[in-house]
Amino acid sequence: MRFLLLLLLILHLSHSSAAGAISEHRALMAVKSYITDDPRSYLSNWNATTPLCSFTGVTCDYTGRHVTSIDLTNFTLSGTLSPSFAHLRFLQNLSVAANQLSGPIPKELSALSDLRYHNLSNNVFNGSFPTQLSQLKNLQVLDLYNNNMTGELPVSVTELPNLRHLDLAGNYFTGHIPSSYGLWEHLEYLAVSGNELGGKIPPEIGNLTKLQQLYIGYYNTFEGGLPREIGNLSELVIFDAANFTLTGVIPPEIGKLQKLDTLFLYYNLLSGYLAAELGTLKSLKYMDLSDNILTGEIPESFAELRNLTLLQLFRNNLQGQIPEIIGEWPELEVLQLWENKFTGSIPQKLGSNKKLQMFGLSWNQLTGTIPPVVGNLTSLTHILLSHNKLTGKIPASVCNLSSLNVLDFMKNRLSGTIPYCIGNLSSSLSHIDLQDNNIHGKLPENFVKHCKLQSFRINNNHVEGLLPRSLGNCKDLHLLDVGKNKLHDTFPFWLGNLDQLQVLILRSNRFYGQVNSSDIAVSFTHLHAIDLSHNNFSGYLPTNFFENLHAIKEGDGKKVEPEYMKDELADGRVYYVQGLSFTIKGFEIEFQELLTSWMVIDFSNNQFLGEIPKTLGELHSLIVLNLSHNCLKGSIPSSFGDLSKLESLDLSSNKLRGKIPMELNNLGFLEVLNLSHNYLVGPIPQGKQFDTFTNDSYTGNLGLWGLPLSKGRDNDEKTPAKFDRDDDDDDADELNWKFSILMGYGCGLVLGLSMGYIVFTTGKPWWFIRSYVRVQQRFAKWYRTKLLR
Print the domain residue range for 559: 490-711
What does the pLDDT read at residue 180? 92
**pLDDT band per the 50, 70, 90 thresholds, residue 597:** confident
- Mean pLDDT score of the chain: 83
What does the pLDDT read at residue 611? 96
The residue-averaged pLDDT of 561-573 equals 62
Check whether 723 has a pLDDT greater than 50: no
**Separation in Å, CA 215 to CA 45, 176, 188, 367, 575:** 40, 14, 12, 40, 28
572 lies in some domain: yes
Residues 635-679 have pLDDT tens digits of 999 999 999 999 999 999 999 999 999 999 999 999 999 999 999
**CA gap 485, 458 in Å, rounded:** 8
Residues 4-57 have pLDDT tens digits of 444 443 333 333 344 344 488 899 999 999 999 999 999 999 998 899 899 999
The residue-averaged pLDDT of 365-391 equals 94
- 16-30, 172-186, 322-336, 718-732: segment of lowest average pLDDT: 718-732
The residue-averaged pLDDT of 197-213 equals 93
195 lies in some domain: no
Longest pairwise C-alpha distance within the chain:
134
CA-wise closest residue to 581 among 453, 723, 436: 436
**pLDDT band per the 50, 70, 90 thresholds, residue 760:** very low
635 lies in some domain: yes
59 lies in some domain: no
Check whether 735 has a pLDDT greater than 70: no
Number of domains in the chain: 1
Tell me the pairing of strands 78-80 and 35-37: antiparallel
300 lies in some domain: no
**pLDDT band per the 50, 70, 90 thresholds, residue 774:** very low
Q: Residue 708: is the preceding peptide bond cis (ω within 30°)?
A: yes
Instruction: Say what the pTM is.
Output: 0.81
Check whether 507 has a pLDDT greater than 60: yes
Residues 54-94 have pLDDT tens digits of 999 999 998 888 999 999 999 999 999 999 999 999 999 99
**CA gap 256, 187 in Å, rounded:** 20
CATH of the domain at 513: 3.80.10.10
641 lies in some domain: yes
Q: What element of type H or E holds 69?
A: strand 67-71
603 lies in some domain: yes
**Separation in Å, CA 270 to CA 316, 422, 531, 696:** 10, 41, 44, 51
700 lies in some domain: yes
Residues 312-371 have pLDDT tens digits of 999 999 999 999 988 889 999 999 999 999 999 999 888 788 899 999 999 999 999 999
Q: How far is CA 270 from the centre of its chain?
A: 24
The residue-averaged pLDDT of 156-183 equals 93
**pLDDT band per the 50, 70, 90 thresholds, residue 625:** very high
**pLDDT band per the 50, 70, 90 thresholds, residue 556:** low
What does the pLDDT read at residue 590? 65
**CA gap 220, 75 in Å, rounded:** 31
Sign of CA dihedral 601, 605, 609, 610: positive
**pLDDT band per the 50, 70, 90 thresholds, residue 244:** confident
